[in-house]
Amino acid sequence: MTSFKIVTDSTVELSSQEIEKYGITIVPLSSIIDDVVYYDGVTISKPEFLEKMKNNPELPKSSQPAVGAFLDVFTQLTADGADVLSINVTNTLSGTVNSARQAADISGDKVTVIDSEFCARAMGFQVLEAAKCAEAGMTVTETLTYLEETKKRTLLYIAIVNLENMVKGGRIGKTMGLVTSFLNVKINLQMIKGALVSDKKGRGTKAIVNRYEAIIAEVKEKYSEVESIGVTHDGLTSYSNKIVQMLKDAFPDVELYISYASASVMTHAGPDAVCVQFLKK
């Protein structure tokens, strides 16, 4: 029996086996397309959401879970006196962690909520670390130290290929969007302390492949070992498959977890985006 229970949200990337093995509870975010509400991984699959998003002229509206959704989960999980640790997506992408914190305030001192400062598989690294700590009988307080170390060992890079969603969402102006589209400009970003910062721009997907080639070389040179790698995508393409193959060639003995992004992350990043996340040893 674990020493505490773990909650996270649907922006995380975990396998069904991992979720079942550690008894992880996932609270889904929601998205609205054509006035229909879809709950991530519950009422729509990730490939289905991607197709609906690509074929709809309007940007989907994503929404954090309501405070009540977290409160219901926390109430259920603490009913037997257990402690709960909720690990959530970075506040710069979603207000999910704020909903969780409000619910924790209501439910009492049995629930601890943290901002992972990441999303996708990078957040999954922390969730899995917490699960192992709970399995080893550690307290939530003891586990938080391990999670801070996991954050420091995590690298996240993302390439935005199609800027249309960023224009629709107001993250870049329409004029800039038209210019970059005309010039075939692609944007590379890195997540540092929860925020996406500019890494490098280039023209065409070849520039993205070249950038990831440089990232892989840098990781191999600077860090003696890599424990795990996550590839999160908004639809695999010829260029992103090249990146996957480069990772397999460079790190043949490292676990490589490949998955679709959550609906909320897809909405931010747009079709064909690809994100690579490293967990250093």
pLDDT digits (tens, 9 = 90+) for 30-73: 999 999 999 998 999 999 999 999 998 888 888 999 999 999 99
Using one digit for the tens of pLDDT, what is the confidence trace for 76-118? Answer: 999 999 999 999 999 988 999 999 999 999 998 999 999 999 9
Using one digit for the tens of pLDDT, what is the confidence trace for 227-265? Answer: 999 999 999 999 999 999 999 999 999 989 999 999 989
Q: Which two tokens stand for residue 197?
A: 């910062």
Residue 201 has pLDDT above 80, yes or no: no
**Given this model, what pLDDT does residue 195 score?**
87
Tokens 């191999």, located at residue: 220
Residue 160 has pLDDT above 50, yes or no: yes
Residue 162 has pLDDT above 50, yes or no: yes
- Please report, as a single letter, which amino acid is at residue 32: I
User: Where are the domain boundaries for CATH 3.30.1180.10 in the chain?
Assistant: 154-280
**Given this model, what pLDDT does residue 270 score?**
86
CATH fold label, 4-29+64-152: Rossmann fold (3.40.50)
Q: Which residue has the higher pLDDT, 196 or 113?
A: 113
DSSP 94: -
Tokens 């990781």, located at residue: 219
Using one digit for the tens of pLDDT, what is the confidence trace for 207-236? Answer: 899 999 999 999 999 987 999 999 999 999
**Given this model, what pLDDT does residue 58 score?**
85
Residue 167 has pLDDT above 70, yes or no: no
The pTM is what?
0.92
Angle between helices 205-222 and 238-250 (to 10 degrees): 20
**Given this model, what pLDDT does residue 183 score?**
35
User: Where are the domain boundaries for CATH 3.40.50.10170 in the chain?
Assistant: 4-29+64-152
Residue 172 has pLDDT above 60, yes or no: no
CATH number of 154-280: 3.30.1180.10
Distance, CA of 269 to CA of 213 (rounded, Å): 21
**Given this model, what pLDDT does residue 57 score?**
85
**Which pLDDT band holds residue 24 (cuts at 50, 70, 90)?**
very high
**Given this model, what pLDDT does residue 178 score?**
35
C-alpha dist (Å) from residue 137 to 1, 23, 35, 83: 8, 15, 46, 12
Using one digit for the tens of pLDDT, what is the confidence trace for 123-142? Answer: 999 999 999 999 999 999 99
